[in-house]
Amino acid sequence: MALIVQKFGGTSVGSVERIQAVAQRVYQTVKAGNSLVVVVSAMGKTTDGLVKLANAISTNPSRREMDMLLSTGEQVTIALLSMALQEIGQPAISMTGAQVGIVTEAEHTRARILHIETQRMKRHLNQGKVVVVAGFQGITSIEELEITTLGRGGSDTSAVALAAALQANFCEIYTDVPGILTTDPRIVPEAQLMTEITSDEMLELASLGAKVLHPRAVEIARNYGVPLVVRSSWTDDPGTWVTTPKPQGRSLVNLEIARAVDDVEFDTDQARVALLRVPDKPGVAARLFGEIARQKVDIDLIIQSIHEGNTNDIAFTVTTPILKRAEAVAAAIAPALRNQSNPKTEEAEVMIEQNIAKVSISGAGMIGRPGVAAQMFATLAEAGVNIQMISTSEVKVSCVVSATECDRAVAALRNTFEIEAGKEDTGSVSTPILSTQHSATPVATTGETPATHWLLSTPHSPPPVRGVALDMNQARLAIRQVPDRPGMAAKLFGLLAQHNISVDMIIQSQRCRIVDGIPRRDIAFTVARMDGEKTQKLLAQAATELGWGEIVLDSAIAKVSIVGAGMVGQPGIAAKMFEALAHNQINIQMIATSEIKISCVVAQEQGTQALQVIHAAFGLAGSEKFVVPA
Write out the residues near ligand ASP by the rule CB under 6 A. Answer: 9-10, 41-42, 47, 73, 135-136, 152-155
Of the candidates 622, 497, 34, 587, the residue with the CA atom closest to the CA atom of residue 280: 587
Instruction: Pick the closer one to ligand ASP by CB: 41 or 232.
Output: 41
In degrees rounded to 5, what are phi and psi of residue 163?
A: -60, -40
Instruction: Pick the closer one to ligand ADP by CB: 9 or 97.
Output: 9
Enumerate residues 6+ apart whose C-beta is below 8 A from 459. 436, 437, 438
- What is the rounded CA–CA span in Å between residue 60 and residue 109? 13
Window of 7-15, 437-445, 561-569, 575-583 that interacts with Mg ion by CB under 5 A: 7-15
Of the candidates 531, 527, 488, the residue with the CA atom closest to the CA atom of residue 508: 488
The entry of ligand ADP, Mg ion, ligand ASP, none that residue 210 binds, CB within 5 to 8 Å by partner kind: ligand ADP
Q: How far is the CB of 194 from ligand ADP (least distance, A)?
A: 9
Residue 574 near residue 275 (C-beta atoms within 8 A): no
Chain centre to alpha carbon of residue 438: 24
Residue 36-75 contact track with ligand ADP, rule CB under 6 A, x = bound: -----x----------------------------------
Residue 270-289 contact track with Mg ion, rule CB under 5 A, x = bound: --------------------
Binding residue for Mg ion (CB under 5 A) from 101, 153, 442, 487?
153
Q: For residue 394, what is the DSSP state? A: S
Instruction: Pick the closer one to ligand ADP by CB: 11 or 29.
Output: 11
Instruction: Pick the closer one to ligand ASP by CB: 7 or 287.
Output: 7
In 403-458, where do the E strands start and end?
Answer: 439-442, 454-457
Residue 221 near residue 233 (C-beta atoms within 8 A): no
Instruction: Pick the closer one to ligand ADP by CB: 10 or 487.
Output: 10
The entry of ligand ADP, Mg ion, ligand ASP, none that residue 212 binds, CB within 5 to 8 Å by partner kind: ligand ADP
Enumerate residues 6+ apart whose C-beta is below 8 A from 203. 215, 218, 219, 222, 364, 365, 394, 395
- What is the rounded CA–CA span in Å between residue 573 and residue 568? 9
Q: Based on the number of CB atoms within 10 Å of its own CB, is 507 exposed (0-12), middle (13-18) or buried (19 or more)?
A: buried
The entry of Mg ion, ligand ADP, ligand ASP, none that residue 181 binds, CB within 5 to 8 Å by partner kind: ligand ADP
Binding residue for ligand ADP (CB under 6 A) from 101, 467, 532, 564?
467
Window of 170-178, 319-327, 479-487, 580-588 that interacts with ligand ADP by CB under 6 A: 170-178
Instruction: Pick the closer one to ligand ASP by CB: 66 or 552.
Output: 66
Binding residue for ligand ADP (CB under 6 A) from 67, 74, 172, 176?
176
The entry of Mg ion, ligand ADP, ligand ASP, none that residue 586 binds, CB within 5 to 8 Å by partner kind: none
Instruction: Pick the closer one to ligand ADP by CB: 122 or 211.
Output: 211
Q: How far is CA 380 from CA 1, 275, 456, 466, in A?
A: 51, 26, 42, 33
* 318-332 core/surface letters (b: 16 or more CB in 10 A; e: else): bbeebbeebbebbee
Pick out residues in 186-225 that bind ligand ADP (CB under 6 A). Answer: 186, 210-212
Instruction: Pick the closer one to ligand ADP by CB: 80 or 489.
Output: 80
Q: Is 153 in the site for ligand ADP (CB under 6 A)?
A: yes
Instruction: Pick the closer one to ligand ADP by CB: 101 or 368.
Output: 368
Residues 90/98/52/154 CA torsion (nearest 10 deg): -80
Q: How far is the CB of 73 from ligand ASP (least distance, A)?
A: 5
With CB under 6 A as the rule, give the number of residues binding ligand ADP: 19
- What is the rounded CA–CA span in Å between residue 91 and residue 547? 66
HSE-up of residue 186 (Cα within 13 Å, Cβ side): 10
Helix, strand or coil, per DSSP, at residue 530: helix
Name the residues that contact ligand ADP, by CB under 6 A.
9-12, 41, 153, 175-177, 180-181, 183-184, 186, 210-212, 467, 628
